Each structure stands twice: as C-alpha cells, then as structure tokens.
Amino acid sequence: MVTHGVQNRESAGPAAASDAPPLRGAQVVGLVATLLLGVISFQLNASMVTPALPDMAERLGGSVDDIAQVSSLFFLAGAIGGVILSRISDFVGRRKVLVAVLTVTAVGTLICFLAPSLPVLLIGRVLQGASSAAFQIAYVILNERLSAKVFGTALGVLTAINGGVGGVDGFFGGALSDRYGFRAIFAVILVVGVLAAVCVALFIPKDRPSVTAGRMDWWGAGALSVALYCVTYFVSHGSSDGWTSPSTLGYLAGTLVSALAFGLVERGRATPLVSLTHLKSRRMWPLVTTTVLVLSGVFAVINFTVVIISQNPDTGFGLSATDSALLFLTPAALIGLGAAPMAGWFAGKRGWLTTLRAGLVLSIVALCVVAAFPLDKWLVIAAVAFLGITYNGLVLTTLNGLGVLLSPKDAPAALPGLNGAAFGIGAGLGIGIVAPYAARATAGGYATALWISVAITVLALGTSLFIAAPRTDHA
C-alpha cells in the first residue's frame, strides 16, 4: 500500500503529482495562517453583518423584505461565485484567483462602507459574495501542498471558521453597530480583506502549471448560475408564499429548464464546468446530495427552530436574542473550533467516510433528543452543544474534505465548488420546509418541525452510504 502522502497527492490530480515535495514545518503554519485569514474575510461578511440589518434599514431606508436582500444576495452570489471562480483556478492558478477574489471582495466592502442608498449597498454585497470561493480554493491548495498526514488537521482548522469565528463575530458585529453604526462593521471587514489579499500575494507559493488544458466553460457557468438563482428563489418563495403559489412554481420551472440546459451544454464541451460522467458517478452525486440533506436537516434545527423556541415567551424559553445566541449558538461554535481540527486528524487516521457516518449517527441521536424534549431548556442546550462536536466538527469537516479528495484529477476544484453551493442550497431548503410548522408556535408545531429535520438527516446518512471511498481511506 502506498503512503498517505502519496495517496493524498495523487487524489489532487496532475498539479499535485509534480516533483515538488509537500510543505513542512513553518511552511505549513504560514500557509494555513494565510489561508485562514482569507476565509475569515468571508465569514465576517456572512456573520458580522446580520446584527446590523435593523440599523441599515433605518439609515438607508427600506422594508424588512428589502433589507433581507443584504444577506440573501450575498449568499446567492457566493453560491454562484464559489462554483465558477474555483473552477477558473484550475485554468489560471489558485493564487491568482484567490488574490482576485479577495480584491473584488475588498472593492465590494468599500462600496458597502460608502453606500448612500440600499441599492448601492446591495451591489457591494454581490461583489462581497465572491469571498465564498476563498473556502473552496483554500481547500484545494491544502490538498495540493500538504501531505495527507497534515491535510486533515489543516482542513479542520479552516472548516472551524465556516461555523463562525468562535461565535463572537456576530456579537462583535452587533456591538459595533450599536455604538458606531453599520459602516463600522464594513470598515473592520475591509481591513481584514485587504490584509488577506496582501498576505496571499506574498506568502502563498507560486502557482504550478495549469491543471486543466482547454478553456473555461462559460456557457455551462451561465446555465448553472441561472439554475442556482432559480432554485434559491424557489425555496425562498416556497417558504413565504406557499409551495404551490405561481411565483414558486415559476421558479421551479426555471430551475428545471436551466438544469436541462446545463446538461445539454455540458455534453458538447471539451472541458465542461462539471463533467456529466463525473457528476453521475459515486464520487459526486452522493456527496452533493448528502451535503444538501445534512444542511437541510441539522442547520435548520440549530439556526432556526431552536432559535424560534428559545425566544418564544409563551411556548418556549422567552429569551432575548442575545441570551439565545449565547446559550444555543455560541457553545456549538466554540466547541466546533476545537472539534473540527481533531475531526480532520481522526479522518486522516481512520477514514473520511467512517468519520462522516459516525458524525451523522451521533448528530441524529442529538436531534432526536431535541425533537423528543423540545421544551426542556437545559437538555436542548446540551444536545445543541453536542452538535458542535458531531455536526460542526465531524460532519462539516469530512464533507469539505471529501469534496476535495473525490474531485476529478483533471478538474480538482469542480467538486469543491459544487459542494460549496450545496451548503447554501441545503440551509435554505431546510428552513423553508420546517418554517410553516415552527411558525405555529405550539409544542406540536415545534415537534413536527424537529422530527422532519431528523428524518431529513436520516436520509443524509442513507445517501452517504453511496459515496465512493477516497484513496486516502483504508477501505
């Protein structure tokens, strides 16, 4: 059997198979620290801004629906940009694209800081969405530059940030907004973003020769972008207007037509955005499906249903927004900071699929506890905190790792980009499905919403059984 280091480098494709040895010692620390700064720039854009939405509405004018676009457009742009920009890096190089991504993000942040009106702010938020690609590109860089022995732990460090910067980023954003206004948040994000771009340009190793010959598939990128746009608003309108409303059905039709167009375009491309042969294989569709289902199940519980229960004064715990975040969101995020690197280390030793399935089983157990005892405050707090280990640590780390390890050799960034979009789609879909039941604000409604989330997560465990084993697994 070949060594772990050779296995990992083979999985990354031709670029990783060059004669350059994997980084070691201080080089690894420098690489991970630089990439960490890059992904933090995305996470701050995602989490620090949310508490400032009321202040933006007051200062810039706009209804609740209007101001909600500050978040929704950011994540939509991130889903589209993550797929396209990460794939471009296969052609022109990781460092070049990552520097460009962080530069565009900084420009968007500057626009947000100076925005005199909500429409201008939304333009800035769309540009900021490019920062989503920082995660996918960073994961591929780790796989190409590090040995398998180090890869899992390093990936876990970056994945930990995906769950929030220790849970304090949102709190810090709220404090800045309360004291100085929303523009102070964008000032902090701008400093971090510019510093990240400079560090990537200076410290990330030079790009190797192009992994993929040929040209970027812009027709496929366009078709997939339309599909992602339509499916995002299908979920959004389904939750708010009803799943059989004309607007919802219109977006569903748009999703199906654009998905069909994407398939037809990809069949005729020499270098497709995502090869249909690969997409239909056990290295792709089961992983993407599992990611959508996991986020639909677990994310909706932690970030929606439990939050609704915690703040309901009649059928719930009657907590303030701050106390709810401190008791239910912050512990899981803090635990995840330590659990994710350990999960990556464990996956490298015991197998990525084994770790994923173990995390899913344990997460299902925790969700069952919440669903069975939704009004027992301390039991729910304990179960959600436990999800910091099982979900934030074991599951999210392995989903991201498998996205890199199972990607095709001739398109190393294709699956990470697609899997990244699946995270956003799953999160929105899960909330859309359970929202009507949780909105009843009754014990029965909460229980129904939670058991639906349990069922979706069980489906995720089922689809995980179809995922092909990466070369680094012992199986």
Q: Say which residues have a Cβ less than 8 Å from residue 276's Cβ, sequence separation at least 6.
A: 263, 266, 267
Q: Which residue has the tokens 């405050």?
A: 377
CA–CA distance, 467 with 296 (Å, rounded to integer): 18
Contact by Cβ (8 Å): 234, 46: no
Two tokens, residue 308: 């609704």
Count the Cβ atoms, other than its own, within 10 Å of residue 26. Answer: 8
> Which pLDDT belongs to residue 1?
35
DSSP SS3 for 283: coil
**Closest-CA residue to 100 (of 71, 75, 127):** 127
pTM: 0.84
What is the pLDDT at residue 307?
Answer: 86
* DSSP single-letter state for residue 357: H
Question: What pLDDT sits at residue 79?
Answer: 87
Q: Do the Cβ atoms of 411 and 212 come closer than 8 Å?
A: yes
Alpha helices (runs of H) in 351-395, residue ranges in sequence order: 352-372, 377-389
pLDDT in tens, the chain (475 residues): 333 333 444 344 433 444 467 777 788 888 999 999 989 988 888 878 877 877 888 888 877 667 777 877 888 888 899 899 999 998 888 999 999 999 999 999 999 999 999 999 999 999 998 888 898 999 999 988 888 888 999 999 898 887 666 567 777 887 888 888 889 999 999 999 999 999 999 988 887 766 666 788 999 999 999 999 998 888 878 877 888 999 999 999 999 999 999 999 988 788 888 888 888 899 999 999 999 999 999 998 998 899 889 988 888 898 887 788 788 888 888 898 889 999 999 999 999 999 999 999 999 999 999 999 999 999 999 999 999 999 999 999 999 999 999 998 888 888 999 998 898 888 888 888 888 888 888 999 999 999 999 999 999 999 999 999 987 654 4
Nearest to 295 by CA among 457, 461, 80: 457
Do residues 347 and 355 lie in contact, with contact meaning Cβ atoms separated by under 8 Å? yes
Asked whether 416 and 136 are in contact (CB, 8 A), the reply is: yes
* Torsion angle, alpha carbons of 135, 150, 90, 160, to 10: -10
What 3-state DSSP class applies to 397? helix
Alpha-carbon span 12 to 413, nearest angstrom: 9
